[in-house]
Structure 1
Amino acid sequence: MLAILPVFIILLCSCDSIVVVSSLNDEGVALLSFKQLIEKDPEGALSSWNYSDETPCSWNGITCSKGQRVVSVSIPKKKLSGSVSSSLGSLSELRHVNLRSNNFSGSLPSELFKAQRLQSLVLYGNSLSGTLPFEVGNLKYLQTLDLSHNFFNGSLPTSLIQCKRLRNLVLSQNNFTGSLPDGFGKNLALLEKLDVSYNEFGGSIPGDLGNLANLQGTVDLSHNMFNGSIPSSLGNLPEKVYIDLTYNKLIGPIPQNGALVNRGPTAFIGNPGLCGPPLKNLCSSDSLASPPFSFPYFPNSYPHQGGEDVVGGGGLSKAAVIAIVVSDLVGVCVVGLLFAYCYSRICCCGRRRDHDYAYGFKKGGKVRKECLCFTKDESETPSENAEQYDLVPLDEEVGFDLDELLKASAFVLGKSGFGIVYKVVLDDGLTLAVRRLGEGGSQRFKEFQTEVEAIGKLRHENVVTLRAYYWSVDEKLLIYDFIPNGNLAAAIHGKSGLATFSPLPWSLRLKIMKGVSRGLVYLHEYSPKKYVHGDLKPSNILLGLDMEPKISDFGLGRLANITGGSPTVQSGRMASEKPWQQSSTASEAAMFSPALAASFSSHYQAPEALKVVKPSQKWDVYSYGVILLEMITGRTPVIQVGNSKMDLVQWTELRIKEKKPLADVLDPYLVQDADKEEEMIDVLKIAMACTQSSPDARPSMRHVSDALERASPYRE
């Protein structure tokens, strides 16, 4: 009898284990099957996943509906290694899968696509390979498919066009081949974002892409093997859309209609077979070249040119220039706003740690006890569900939350009438710039939300990206990408407190000037609201790793007004909080003193800005012209002449009127670039055209950008 007792105990324990296992519902068992295929979990992201719970709803990365059904699996940036389990396909209510920025490998199982209510599948930044299964066409509710930065190959399945609710299709940086499926543009009419760059797609560009009337930002078909001619139907796309066709095998003339008109050459480079405007190589059938845009008369002031005019005799008449400018203004007024929100915000409904007053601001409000991210409306947008007291991401690449932001190291970068800016370094090394708009003001949350989410939709390589925002009664924060190389003001004139200074060579100055012009063209013509910056100056043109310029601070005046005016620069609470009060390093200090910077700022403003209330895009053109002069002359916007002061525009006009030699105008540091003198003269002409006292006499930024490309044509 005693010998049987241990066996009985073992059986009893086994029965208990069976009871524990059976207490977990079928969806929890399916998720544990997913966990079994994870080979490495260095951060313990799945440590809370176990058999002891009745449902998986409390597990890390899992969100459930009110009926305790799994609706979201979101485990980004956790360094997970392994393969994607087919068991996810058995989650009948699954709507969102986000496994981006991990180390998943292998192919996608076709069973995954049995989760037919899936709305978003984000697998960006893994090592997945193989083909996209044909079963993807089962996902009738799919709105976002992001497979970028993987190793997928083969052709796109023809069934993809059955995903007629698709709004975001991002397939860049893979090895896809073949052509885009027939009916691509006709069936996927709701697409707002299309990026198939850096693949091996071939064949002709489908003519029905012109049907995609909801597209925004950049349609990126670059770095593929598309061949044949550019379909003229692409001109039917919204005029604000930038079409990137670079580095393909396209041939023939570039159509000159609709959205394809007046594009700079940078949209078509890398296609030796293309011809016609805006490229310099004319088509064989062209008998006449399109006349370039001509700027107002520029006086002859350079001895080396003899008696010839700088502008020459081949330009357009003054009447033609005015007609072009007027037509541009009419075109700007025609196109309206187009907004479509396509993402349902994935939120975590578990407990949140409260870090009151951490880093100088308060995490206000109550912890929500119920997750409102998923409702019966399939088309809900982030703005409809945004929690008023939480960090709101503005794109799917935001992988940090408010807690991570609060715990981060931070350094003051600068202070202005629009608040304090901090450099914030998260635990994983990600560096951000956080602008604190203020503590008080009227609580116009919906108005603020609408404005900030519109700014968050702007995506251009020469515009700083707004990644997220935070609103509470006490604090309003804007979270941007951090741009590492300071601002253009410091690059031109050096930084205070530093004895050494490396002047920019002409080639780099020209690169920066072109980049800024492209960013302004985007804001003026292709952004949803056709923005006017209104406060453009070198201190808010930031420089990236490769010294690429990025325009910052647009829209701040409007946001500050909504939040109750300019925030206080000094705050008692800020001063008492250690993490956010650390002083900036010398390299991150402002170039000018606040008083001097304020006096300089007014000299970038157009003359009419002091009289006219409504901002105009021609304000930005004037400001840009002053910056061009600053880059060419190396002088500040205010120049001491004897006992009086003169602004840079007047000073330059006086040098020209007095027929001073070019050397008297140029930055002395540019002597080493004497072989680029013709380019410098061309840019000087453009600067003087931009700074005309009459706004009607100034060219549009599109014409300015095209003229800069002609001043130094792109060389492959």
Structure 2
Amino acid sequence: MASSPPLLLLFLFLCSPFLVLVLVLVLAPPSHALNGEGFALLTFKTSIREDPGNSLLNWNSSDPNPCSWNGVTCISALVVSLSLPKKRLVGSLPSSLGSLTSLRHLNLRTNRLFGPVPSGLFAAVGLQSLVLYGNSLYGPLPPEIGNLAYLQILDLSHNLLDGSLPYSLIQCKRLKTLVLSHNNFTNSLPDGFGSSLLALEKLDLSYNQFTGPIPSDIGNLSSLQGTVDLSHNLFSGSIPPSLGNLPEKVYIDLTYNNLSGPIPQNGALENRGPTAFIGNPGLCGPPLKNPCSSDVPSSNPFLPSNYSPSGVEASANLTGSGRTKGLSRNAVVAIVVSDVIGIGLIALLFFYCYWRAISSRENEEGGNSDKGTKCRKDCNCFRKEESETPSEDIEQYDLVPLDRHVRFDLDELLKASAFVLGKSGIGIVYKVVMEDGVTLAVRRLGEGGLQRFKEFQTEVEAIGKVRHPNIVTLRAYYWSVDEKLLIYDYIPNGNLTAAIHGKAGVIAFTPLLWDVRLKIMQGIARGLAFLHEFSPKKYVHGDLRPNNVLLGMDMEPYISDFGLGRLANIAGGSPFLQSDRMAAEKTPTQQSDISVSPLVSKGSFYQAPEALKTLKPSQKWDVYSYGVILLEMISGRSPVVLLETLEIDLVRWVQSCIEEKKPLADVLDPSLSREVDREDEMIAVLKIALACVQANPERRPTMRHVVDTLDRLMNSR
């Protein structure tokens, strides 16, 4: 009988960890008792069966509070955050976590938690972020989630959750991130989904079993960014035109659903490639090759509903019964006769050309080659010009790597997460994150136009051979009639414009130190010098601006977009290019077979004066643009300076300051005033910049000379 209590405790331990915790708390000495929040967290510890990394090793009941425990953050001795991601914890979620009244953040992603999401968890009504990504949780999402009025981030992706989304979810009106991908959710989205969750910035519902129509009120979510991913579901019906009301930079992924009908061509849905709609056999109209039948109303909101694709109005009259009258006998005879006459004329023309070809061959054999040449020209009516043939009718549907390190294919690229980085006259640029974590930048060039594949292939492969530490590397490309993609390395630290002036809408801004600026200046110069003298085709960039100078993790510069204008012109058909060309007719621009998009607005202040007189860019253009960038980095000013009510370009402003003998402090960026020990270097760089922006191109230095000067400056320290 003496052994009964231990056996009883063993039985309780195996059957109920919670009862064991209660016994521990009852028997513990009062002087070492945890506060109530510590008790709740110990309940979580007892629900964990495996902790291979000993993440919960220092969770001890002898502590007065849990604020020193791994993964626990407190404010005023109250638990505000529990974060234990990627700890390989095996166990379940206890309801007791809901008793943490001050809990704001719960992050248990990428563990091996199983079981249902307990409704008691949502008693922690102050939760702002709930991240349970990458576990094995199953069952429905409890309706009590609607209690979380302050919730901003909800990521339950990569679990086994099922059932309908609770209607109460729309009560979480502060929700900014909703990621439910890779679960088994079913049925329609709750009514009012788009009308209520107006703060949403990220929405990913992919890889579920949602059914029913896509709610039209999703178009109200004007704060969305990146990719709205509704792919790999069972959504049916037509695509609501209201989706076009989403911000234009948003990429809408509707692939692999049961959608049908025409694709609206408005707003955010306009000018999208077919990759956003594949896997929906019932969809029709552009950008797909599947045309809509005549009885389907036009998806273009700018066309009348009675628009006929042939452009000819129906000539049949309707009787009172609503039936269409048949053609009269005379009309039928007239049509047949005209067809016969037309066929006869075509046959005569064919035999005439055939006879001339035979005659030319006989004349060539007899020595009369001139006449034969003339005949061949006459008979070209049945031949397309070689330049009109879409690359010998070649149409490519696979990704072409330009680098042996490319380990992905087109399917993997299309399945990756994509976020819009920007939109310009040369198309849209996306940040693409592959499943293995590799991040790429993908630029869409267009969807139609001239199909000169061989020319495009030659040009893109030449660009792909350019390798330099200060030039963005082109890794692969994809060409088809409907889609042209360029795949680059992703450069993570934004562009030089944001580094000099800060990001639009972001108040916090840390100006660059002089050493960082000098490093960037030197890197740009080296990249340009390489393009000018050592690249396979001795490229001219033609559109160098801070916007296309990207910055790496250590603020090293990368020149991007060289040769892009040429590729865009070959690809053709880009609506952005067309609009730019229309603007170019009103504004002097620089265009050539190597230039990028026309320079307009602030971009025009980076172009050399001679660009207004000639369309062919030269290396001296790039030198001038580089000089303007140096002035911008030295002064911290925009390329156009506002003086009271007068606008003046930065070059003229700096030159006027020097002519008026103003102190150097008036020209320098005020944030550089603290680095007075580098004033001599700043003056030296200012002299280089002024040499680069000389009005006479012959007086500007070469980029190799600029590199040598900067190297000497750095070595003289």
Question: TM-score when scaled to structure 1?
Answer: 0.48
Higher gyration radius (CA) = 2
Question: TM-score when scaled to structure 2?
Answer: 0.48
| Higher relative contact order, structure no. (Cα contacts within 8 Å, ≥ 6 residues apart) | 1
